Structure formats: structure tokens, C-alpha cells
Chain A
Amino acid sequence: MIDFNLIPLLPEIFLSLIGMGLLIVGVSEGNRSTRVICWAAAAGFAIAALILLGVGWETRSVLNGMFVMDKFAGFMKLLILIGLIASVALSVRYLVQEGMERFEFPILIIFAGIGMMIMVSANNLLALYMGLELQALSLYVLAAFQRNSVRSSEAGIKYFVLGALSSGMLLFGMSLIYGFTGSIDFGVIGRTLGELNAIPFGVTFGLVFMLAGLAFKISAVPFHMWTPDVYQGAPTAVTALFAIVPKVAAFALLMRLLFEPFMALSDQWLQIIYFLSLMSMVVGAFAAIAQDNIKRLLAYSSIGNMGYALIGIVAGTASGAGAVVLYLMIYMVMTAGVFAVVLSMRRQGLAVYKISDLSGLSKTAPTLAYAMAILMFSMSGIPPAAGFFGKLLVFNAAVTEGYYILATLGILTSVVAAYYYLRVIKVMFFDEPIDEFDKDMPFARRAVLLISILFVLGFVIKPSVFIENSLSAAASLFTG
């Protein structure tokens, strides 16, 4: 093997060593070391991010072409690592409060993180599947982490069974693609498919099955059924993790797959992504209206947001892909902030999840209420909050390519979606106050909330920094 070079893999190698080392610490020190291990894991993610910045983001593929490092991979991995730090920081106090202080929690998050980073860098169907399974397996366990709760176990089982089904579809699709092209390497697949005059049936079927498997991972309609149940059932800290990070990785994987090996099939996948995007926006907007549980509401909101992000892929251009990257970044930061608030919804030491529990929050805890209001405004895409720019760029990319119907529907559904975001604000500011929430908001949660708010409000001051970086990251997908 000529290209044996481990430098681009250093962040992943570092994380796996940290994960195993912390496991040894945990086994010898027991569950009382959970807090220390959580913070050590967060520090590990931060160091991995520094290593990632140091390894160089010029395009190169190593290990028999299985692993690719380019600007896109680097940027997405950086987002994933930041998201992981935020979700670990959010969960430490929650673990104590819910009596699920077990040291395996941060360790499973570390391994899920490695899986996600491999997904982003996969340049080969085998590496893709391995990364996906590593990530998914860790997340199944995390969803069922609260063993004493029936709902959590149910969420874990549901996620596991449906995840296994989607992996099966993905594998079946891969086998068809491999059967046709004779290779699992993205480069070879792309070249072979590019030389075809007519696309045979088998390839289209393979593509459809692979997209169905991946649509499950990003919870696009009609493969979204698991999302509300898993979001509601899983412990809230895990829900925060689910909402913040894995979708960034799955989107990165989907984008690399569609824009690199399957670019020649864009006529075929365009219709599928178009449909997924449309349905996700509509279902995400309308199904969320009837929810009274904030976790279910956020699940439908995430389905809708995935629909908006898919619009950028439909556009199929470098600027569309850049818009998707930016959208995911903004969505990630906003969600982290929202979950910092949701995790603080506790009365007399018990977590509450009803939207009506928020009523009169502006009287009982004004800071929290204003923070949530800013985040909700941003989520619904009201300028000058950051959420507006994400939507603007995505719709702009679609309009430039002539997808007027999709862009119009996107705007219409975001108006519908604004209803349920604004309803939360209405409940907080205009309803009668009820008992106040417990006052102990830990420092880490405050910090995440503060950073999220600063990002949402400060984005408008210098948007070009983020926009240019996202665009140049996405552009590296199109040069190769």
C-alpha cells in the first residue's frame, strides 16, 4: 500500500486512545468519576479539534483511498467536535440530577464522535458503513441509557430496530452499486458512472436504496417516524446530543456521496431529494402545531429543518452546498441553546416537558425567557437573527437554479412553522405565571446558552466570515 499515512487520521486516533484510556479510569474509579471523565472527554474533543486544525486540510486520500481529508471534511469535523463539546457540557449536571451518573456515558459519546468523523471522511463504501455503524451503535445504547425508564428503553429499542432496517437497505443499495461498478471506491464509482450513456435499472435501484437508508439517518420524511418517539423517550441530555450532532455528520456523508460518486446520476437523485425536502418541510411544519411536549416539538422542528437544508442539495451547485453547510452550523448552535433551556425546565427536582410549563416564564425567570425568545425568533427565521441568514442562503441557492416552487413552499412552511415557535414565546410572555423553575443552572449550561445567544445575535455583524468559510469548504467537494 503506497498511501499509508496516518497524519490525516490523527484526530480520530487521538480520540480513540482517549476513549479507551478514560474507560480504564472509569473502571478503576467507578461511577463517582463520571464528572471528571465527562470534562476529560470534553477536553479531549477540544484537543482533537486543535489537532484537526494542525493536520492540514489540503485534499488527499490515504489508506488505500479509504479515508479522504479535504477542506469540507475538516470544516464538518470541526463543527462535529464543537457540537460534541456542547452536548457533553450540557449533560454533566443532568446526569447527576437524573441519577444516571455512569462513566460509560461520555465514553460512548467519544466513540459516537469517532464514527461521525469517519463518516465525514469516508471515501469508500466500506469506510462509510463502518463509520455509520460505529456512530449508530453508540447512539442506540445512549438512547436506552436511562434503564429504569420504560420510555427510554422503548426509545432505544425502536431506534435500534429501525436503524438496523435502514442499515439493511443501505447495504442492499451498496451491493447493487458494487455489483454494477465492481468497486467500492468513490473515485472509481464516480468515473464508471460518468462514462455511461444510459443509466441501467440496477444502479438506480441501488441509489434509491442507499438514499432511503441515509434519509432515515437524517430523519427526512417519509423516514422520520422514529424521530418524535426517540426524542421524547431518550433522556433529555441524549436528545440534545441527537439533535445537535449526528445530523451534521449524516448530511456531510450524504453530500459527499451525492456530489462525488453519484454526480453523474444527479437527474435520478434530484427527484428523490426534491421529494424528501418537500415532504419534510410540510410534515415538520404541520405536525409540530399539535404538539404540547417540547421535546416532540423540537423533533418535528428538526425534521422541518432537515427539509430546508435539503433544498440546498437540490440546487446542486457549490453555492447550494455551501448554504447547506452554513444552515447546519446555525441550526446546530441554535439547538444547543434551546436544549440548554429545556434542560433547565425542572420543578422541585423533577424535569417537566410540557409547553404549558413555560407559562409566565418572563415573570419568574426573565433571563431564561428572553434567551428562549431570541432562540425561537432565530429558529423561525426572523431577521436579524442568524436563523434568517441560513434560510436566506438556502432559498437563494434554489431560486438561482430555478427551483421556484420548492423555494416558495419553503417560505410558506417556514411561516407555518413560525406559528409554533411564536406560540412558545406567547406562552412565556403572556400567560399567567405558574410555579417557578428550580434556580440552579450550572455554569456549563449558562456558558452554552450564552455562546449560542451571542452567535445568533452577533452573526449579523460579520456574516461574511461564516458564509465565506462554508462556501469554500463546500467548494472543495466540487473541485475533485
Chain B
Amino acid sequence: MIIQALAFYLFAGILTLSSLMVITARNPVHSVLFLILTFFNSAGLFILLGAEFVGMIMVIVYVGAVAVLFLFVVMMLDISFADLRKGAMQYVPIGLFIGAVLLTELVLVYGAWQFAPDVGLNLAAPAMRFEDATNAESLGQVLYTDYVLAFQLAGLILFVAMVGAIVLTLRKRPSVRKQSVAEQQRRKAEDVLEMHKITPGTGI
């Protein structure tokens, strides 16, 4: 028990500190690296909760794909983050105000939190149904049965995201010169070259 508590405070502490560093670090690459640390720690918290599948997904998807993508974007785009931050100071007071209001609300809500009288009976998939199953197994049991509609809709959403990304970014650039092998092969010397005999001192 004590080890669990220790692990929790360790993960939670590093999580909070590193997420603070994400927004305060001067160098954007450092920010992204701290973000990765944050993801790792939240994965640790999920494992402590017994949700090992979500924890692993967190590492694979967020660290493996999202954060690396961020890193690429930060390194490849020529954005001066210092310039972006310049005007940000004037929003600090209102930001702090809204933050304070939200914090008060959260304290109010969670300080007096209570559950519905027999909340256990309402749960969609009571834990005993999958007593001996691992996370992945129990997810597999419900994902394609009880939640098939949500699963298919998520697929449609990703599909729209893909179509949207292509619509907004793919453009034909007539000004860019590309190599066309067929065209190169078709060209004949007599089409493009003109031979002139020039006697010295006359010009064309």
C-alpha cells in the first residue's frame, strides 16, 4: 500500500512539475521534451489505477506519435516563439482571474462531491463481468458489441479528418518545376536546338 502511495506522489509530483515546465521553458524543443515526460508520468498514473491498457496506449500514441510530431513541427517551422510570447503578458491578469474562478468552482464541486445513492447499479459494465480478464480483453469484449456505434462513428470522424487535411493542404503548384521523365525522353535535339553558322565579327 505504502509503495503505491509513494509511487502515486512520485508520478503526480513529476507530472505537475513537468507540465509547468512545458509552458515556462524558453526553448520550444525543451517544452516538447517536458511534454513527453508528462505523458510518461500520466501513463504511470493509469497503470497505478489498474488501467494498464490505457497507460500503454498513452505511451505509444502520445509519446510515440503525437509528441514526436510536435517535435518535428517545432524543428521544421521557422517560428520565433519569443515573438509569439511578446503580447502574451497583457493577458496575464484576465487569465489569472479566469483561472481563479475555475479553481474556486472545482474546489466547490469536488469538495462537496457525492455520488448518486446507488451508483453501482447504474454502471454500464460492472467490473465483475470481466473479473479474470485483462484490460485489453475486457475492452475487446465491449468495443465491438456494446459500443459498436461509437466505434464506427469514431472511424467516420477520423475519415473526415483525413479528407479535411487533404482538402486544406493539398494544392497544385504550377510554379514548382518537377522532373517528368517521359517529357525528358520525348524531347528531341532538333525541337529545341537551332544551329547557326556565324562568321567571326558579324553576329546573328
Chain A residues packing against B (C-beta within 8 Å):
1, 9, 16, 20, 23, 63-64, 66-67, 102, 104, 107-108, 111, 114, 118, 126-127, 130-131, 133-134, 137-138, 140-141, 144-145, 147, 156, 176, 179-185, 188, 192, 195-196, 200-202, 205
Contact = CB atoms under 8 A, between A and B. Distances in A.
Interface residues of B, number: 35
B119 interface: yes
A200 B157 contact: no
Interface stretch (B38-46, B147-155, B191-199): B147-155
A9 B115 CA distance: 34
Interface centre among B108, B114, B147, B157 (most CB of A within 10 A): B157
Nearest to B102: A172
Contacts of A63: 148-149
B161 interface: yes
B123 interface: yes
B164 A141 contact: yes
Interface centre among B108, B120, B167 (most CB of A within 10 A): B167
Interface string B96-122: 000000000100111011111101111
Given A130-B157, A176-B109, A201-B108, A147 B168 contact: yes
B164 A140 contact: yes
Contacts of A102: 167
Given A134-B157, A192-B119, A200-B112, 9 more contacts: A111-B160, A127-B150, A137-B164, A141-B164, A141-B167, A147-B171, A180-B119, A181-B119, A185-B124
Contacts of B122: 181-183, 188, 192
B156 A144 contact: no
B138 to A, nearest CB: 15
B163 A104 contact: yes
B157 A201 contact: no
Interface in B123-163: 123-124, 145-150, 153-154, 156-157, 159-161, 163
A183 B167 contact: no
3 closest Cβ pairs, A-B complex: A141-B164, A182-B119, A130-B153
Contacts of A140: 164
Contacts, number: 108
B144 to A, nearest CB: 10
25 contacts: A1-B146, A63-B149, A66-B147, A108-B164, A111-B156, A111-B160, A114-B156, A127-B149, A127-B153, A130-B149, A130-B153, A133-B157, A134-B153, A137-B164, A140-B164, A181-B119, A181-B122, A183-B122, A183-B124, A185-B124, A192-B116, A192-B119, A201-B109, A201-B112, A205-B105
A130 B159 CA distance: 13
A29 to B, nearest CB: 16
A201 B156 CA distance: 36
Interface of B: 105, 108-110, 112-117, 119-124, 145-150, 153-154, 156-157, 159-161, 163-164, 166-168, 171
A180 B150 CA distance: 22
A67 B109 CA distance: 31
B175 to A, nearest CB: 15
Nearest to B148: A63
Contacts of A131: 153
B115 A182 contact: yes
A148 B159 CA distance: 24
Contacts of B153: 118, 127, 130-131, 134
Interface centre among B105, B109, B149, B163 (most CB of A within 10 A): B149
B160 A108 contact: yes
A200 B114 contact: yes
Nearest to A121: B149
Given A64-B147, A192-B122, A201-B109, A23 B163 contact: yes
Given A176-B109, A182-B122, A107 B171 contact: no
A107 B163 contact: yes
Contact of B109 (A141, A156, A185, A202): A202
Contacts of A185: 124
A137 B161 CA distance: 7
A176 B114 CA distance: 11
Interface centre among B123, B156, B171 (most CB of A within 10 A): B156
Contacts of A192: 116, 119, 122
A80 B163 CA distance: 23
A188 B157 CA distance: 27
B72 to A, nearest CB: 21
A356 B157 CA distance: 42
A16 B159 CA distance: 11
A144 B165 CA distance: 11
B155 to A, nearest CB: 10
A196 B166 CA distance: 50
Contacts of A108: 160, 163-164, 167
Contacts of A118: 153
B163 A67 contact: no
Given A1-B146, A183-B122, A196 B116 contact: yes
A345 to B, nearest CB: 26
A134 B156 contact: yes
A147 to B, nearest CB: 7
Nearest to B120: A182
B150 A181 contact: no
Interface centre among A144, A147, A182, A184 (most CB of B within 10 A): A182
Nearest to A130: B153
A144 B164 CA distance: 10
A205 B110 CA distance: 11
Contact of B146 (A16, A64, A107): A64
A349 B113 CA distance: 62
A195 B113 CA distance: 18
A410 to B, nearest CB: 31
B150 A138 contact: no
A438 B29 CA distance: 55
A282 to B, nearest CB: 25
A201 B124 CA distance: 24
Contacts of A9: 149
